[in-house]
Amino acid sequence: MNSFIALARWILLALVCTSNVFGQDDGSPGVYQGRHIAPVMGHQGAEWLERPERQTEERPDLLLQALKLKPGMKVADIGAGTGYFTWRMGKLVAPRGSVYAVEIQQEMLDMLATNVVAHGVTNFHSVLGTVIDTHLPTNKIDLVLMVDVYHEFDHPREMLESIWRSLSPTGRVVFVEYRAEDPNVPIKRLHKMSVAQVRKEAELLPLEWVETIETLPRQHIIVFKKKLTSPAQHNGSRAQP
């Protein structure tokens, strides 16, 4: 009986989560730069983030290789969820490095803390952000990672400005998004982004495209580095003929 209840619970959870990811492209809270913003997944679907299929569907091992993390780095996991990448990055930047796990839901941070410590990682900081501010320290972060998260930001520009402020002078921002260019990727359009769209939005800020890595089965890895001009100076230069 317990096995049956557990199975039924898992099926119900899968249906809830796939309706958000694979379902109809509706419920979008707004539009930014011609793109419909996807709704945020609530903490009720947290188990979906830990599903075993992620190992083959997303190949986190290949993503971590592409990040080129080194011991001593300060990194940030934006929209960290249950800490799926937080603890993995924590191991790679240990012992002197640290991971800032940013979430806008305290319930997620509570689950994340338990999960990360269970994996033997303690070099992390839980950060409760808002929809317009990551609340990360200024000029300190060597790498910001966003895995299937950016397309859900209610206020993309404000969040990217906050991320830009947090970066060290040599800091990088990494967008990981399902490939909109590939119709074979089984995700609804609302939850995909093209390289062109990511660049269009990121380059409104003083962020310079570095490379796009296509080693993952379904997702782009799109890397930017920080420019040292301020957002205001950057926008002024773009406005000139």
Classify each residue of 59-90 as buried b or exposed e, where b means 16 or more C-beta atoms within 10 Å of its C-beta. Answer: bbeebbebbebeeebbbbbbbbbbbbbbbbbb
- pLDDT tens, residue by residue, 141-192: 999 999 999 999 999 999 999 999 999 999 999 999 999 999 999 998 999 9
- Tokens 């080129």, residue? 68
Instruction: Calculate ∠ Cα 237-200-202, nearest 5°.
Output: 75
Q: What is the pLDDT confidence band of residue 230, given thresholds at 50, 70 and 90? A: confident
- Tokens 């062109």, residue? 196
Report the CATH number of the 48-239 domain: 3.40.50.150
**Where are the domains positioned within the chain?**
48-239
- Tokens 């962020």, residue? 207
Residues 105, 110, 114, 120, CA torsion sign: positive
- pLDDT tens, residue by residue, 50-77: 688 999 999 999 999 999 999 999 999 9
Section 219-240 average pLDDT = 83
pLDDT value, residue 44: 63
Q: Is the pLDDT of residue 19 over 70?
A: no
Q: Indicate the pTM of the whole model.
A: 0.85
Across all residues in the chain, what is the average pLDDT? 87
Q: What is the pLDDT confidence band of residue 40, given thresholds at 50, 70 and 90? A: confident
Residue 216: phi and psi, rounded to 5, are -85, 155
Q: For residues 91 and 64, is the Cβ–Cβ distance under 8 A?
A: no
